Structure formats: structure tokens, C-alpha cells
Amino acid sequence: MKVLRTALLLTALTLVLIVVGDAFGGPNGMKIALGFAVLLNAIAYFFSDKIALMSSGAKPVSREQLPRLYEVMERLAAKANLPVPKLYLVPEAAPNAFATGRNPRHASVAVTQGLLQLMNDDELEGVIAHELSHVRNYDILISSIAATLAGAITYAAKMGYWASIFGYGGGRDNERQGGGLSAILMIILAPIAAMMLQLGISRQREYAADQSGAQMVGQQFGLMSALQKLGAYNQRIPSNIPQTTSALCIVKPMFGGGSVWSSWFSTHPPLEDRIAALREMTISRPG
């Protein structure tokens, strides 16, 4: 069901791009906008792991330095038939973790010092299984596709804005669709719609990683307890992880007071909803 919802959201993003591109620039306008978005997001896709690790201050760690983390990671990676990712430590007290890398062979997992100090073995196992699920589900690739489509919609809307100012446009229906109130509304609303769909995809991938991570471990209670701790401590301990990297984290770091608007525009579902979804899971035991 989570995969279907993600597919539907990606389809909706594609349809918005087609409508906006055709309205303001015809097929050529859509191709130009998509080309810009593909170029920028391809760069981000291939270098996002280095950017995320560098910006968060993550440092590589060896098995001798963190044997507990390596033991959990190696056991779960073998269970999931995945290469063991490179492991990093973020030197900060706020508990969190994130995975990055364009595919399982180029994956990295970073955890904060606070996470290792606060989590018991079952909770740490739940967190690591969640991050490995992001790797196995190719969520970095899915997020990159969503970002490309959303970026193309934004570029197409900007092209339409400048076209309306200078009184020209390339679409065959430009006079019918590109002018007046409808064009202004599309210029404003299309990027918002694209962002909301992109955020929806991000939230669905978090639910999916929770579910597949619990299945990987064989029970959901460690992850449920970990999410409760992560929510509580991240409301009290400030994080140094930059907002550009926070979307990768298992829970979004707290940078300030929350609001209804911030929950609408969050890359993560509410923690209580994630915990409730895990509580309702039925995991069959092998054998």
C-alpha cells in the first residue's frame, strides 16, 4: 500500500508538470524546465551523501571504536542481504540517525553520539533497521525523482511568470490558458502543489521504512520505543544538523517552536501517527 501511494504521488507530480509546462511553454517549455531540474538534481543525487555527511559534521568510525554499532549493523545487513554501509558518528547530544547514498553499494549510515548513549539494544536495532530499509528501498533515488519533478514544475511556473510579464509564451494554448487570473493562480499554486506532493512522498517513505524495518527485526516494539525517546529528547536538546540534511533523519531535529503550518510542511509524519501504525502491525514469525 505504501508503494502504491508513493507511485500515485509521483504520477500526480508528473501530471502537474505536464499541465504547467503545456500551459506556459508547450512541450518545449516543459522539456526545458525538466532539463534544468534533471541537471541540478543529478548533481545532488551523486554528491548528496558527501554533502549530508560533511554538513552534519559526521566522522567515519571503525569497528574498534564502536563495536556495538558494527555488531548491530553487520547482523541486520546480513539478514537483509545488503552490503554493510559505511558508518559515521555525528558528535552531538541530540539523538538521531540518517542514511544516505544513491544505492546499497554506495550507502552510508550516520548516528549521533546521543543516540548511542540513550538507546538500549532493542531500540538501537530498530533505528538501524529503519535506516537500512531506506537503503534497501532506494529511497534516495525516489526522493531524487520527486525533487526533479517538483523542481521542473517550479521552473516551468517561473518561466510562465516572466512570459506573462513580457507578453509572450511558447504554448499553443498560451492565449487561452497563459493569461489572466488562471495563469496567475497557476504560477502561485503549481509550486505549492508540487512541494506538497513531494512532502507527501517523503512521509510515505518514512512509514514504509518503519514498516520494513520492523519486519527486518521481527518485532516493532524496539522501534516504537526508540521513536518515543527520539521525540522526547529532540524537543529538549538542540541539534546542529543543518535543515538541508534534516529531511534524511529518522526524526526531524527541532530547530525552534512548532506550529500547525510547520506540521503541514514537514518532511516527516507526526511521531504519534508513526507509532500508531507500528502498533497496528502484525509481524509473522518464521517457521
Computed over its alpha carbons, how large is the radius of gyration of the chain?
21
CB–CB of 227/275 below 8 Å? yes
What are the CA-CA distances from residue 185 to residues 16, 104, 161, 267 (Å)?
14, 42, 11, 25
Residue whose C-alpha cell is 552510508: 108
By residue count, the chain amounts to: 287
- In angstroms, the CA 206 to CA 202 distance is 7
- In angstroms, the CA 98 to CA 248 distance is 5
Residues involved in catalysis: 131
Taken in order 237, 240, 244, 245, the sign of the CA dihedral is negative
